[in-house]
A = this chain, B = another copy of it.
Amino acid sequence: MRRTSDKHSKIIQAAIKVFARTGFFNARISDIAKEAKVADGTIYLYFNNKYDILLSLFEEEISKIIVQVKQAIEKETDPRKMLETFALHHLKLVEKNEELAEVLQMELRQSNKFMKEYRNTRFVEYVDIISVIVHKGQEMGMFRSDVMPGVVKRAYFGALDEMSRLWILTPNPPYSIEETAKHICEIFLHGICTDEARKGALS
């Protein structure tokens, strides 16, 4: 195995750039090769095909993210704080690595082919971080026991990911990442109703 140059990750990093710029289908292998400063053929020494690059990219990068988020969350004891930490981390990715965020968000979902036929366990693992937190909060009597962790995890993830889109798509976003993370977490924790409305007529 090449060690000194580590072509494998050079290619992955190049692919992130190119996929983010042009999208998976419009990306040429030759573009990735050029970006990675290797020959076209070299890519096929490290990956089976174009799709395999996308797959590996996803596996490797999301694994790193999962580790980081889990570490950050372990530092907290309050499930509410944990949820906020998750939100912050999720949104911060746009700031830290916009190209990766774009690829993870846009390209990986261009077709449900990816989600369907390839049992996407890594992705599930990521979203399950949320449901574990929710469950913990329920055990502590802090979160309502009638909310379904399986729904909350998707809703929370979906809400955050949609916000990510905003930053990816708009040049100068109207909200800061930190305030938005807090805001969304706050909404999920306490809802948008006023206390008066809360007491009043049924939901």
**Contact between chains at A198 and B192 (CB < 8 Å):** no
> Taking the nearest CB of chain B, how far is it from the CB of A98, in angstroms?
11
**How many copies of this chain does one complex carry?**
2
One digit per residue, 1 when the CB lies within 8 angstroms of any chain B CB and 0 when it does not, for chain A 60-79 equals 00000000000000000010
Q: Do B203 and A189 touch (CB < 8 A)?
A: yes
Chain B binder among A2-10, A36-44, A157-165: A157-165
Q: A106-B110, A158-B163 are in contact. Are A190 and B193 (CB under 8 A)?
A: yes
CB A108 to nearest CB in B, in angstroms, measures: 9
Residues of B close to A152: CB separation below 8 A = 187, 192
Given the known interface contacts A111-B26, A191-B187, the answer about A154 and B166 at a Cβ–Cβ threshold of 8 Å is: yes
Q: How far in angstroms is the closest Cβ of chain B from A32? A: 16
Residues of B within 8 A of A134 (CB): 192
- Tell me the minimal C-beta distance from A161 to chain B in angstroms: 6
Name A's B-contacting residues (CB within 8 A).
22-26, 78, 80, 102, 105-107, 109-113, 115-116, 134, 137, 141-144, 147-148, 150-152, 154-163, 165-166, 168-169, 174-175, 180, 183-194, 196-198, 201, 203
- 12 A-B pairs within 8 Å (CB atoms) are namely A25-B110, A141-B194, A142-B197, A143-B192, A144-B193, A150-B174, A151-B184, A152-B192, A161-B162, A185-B203, A189-B191, A189-B192
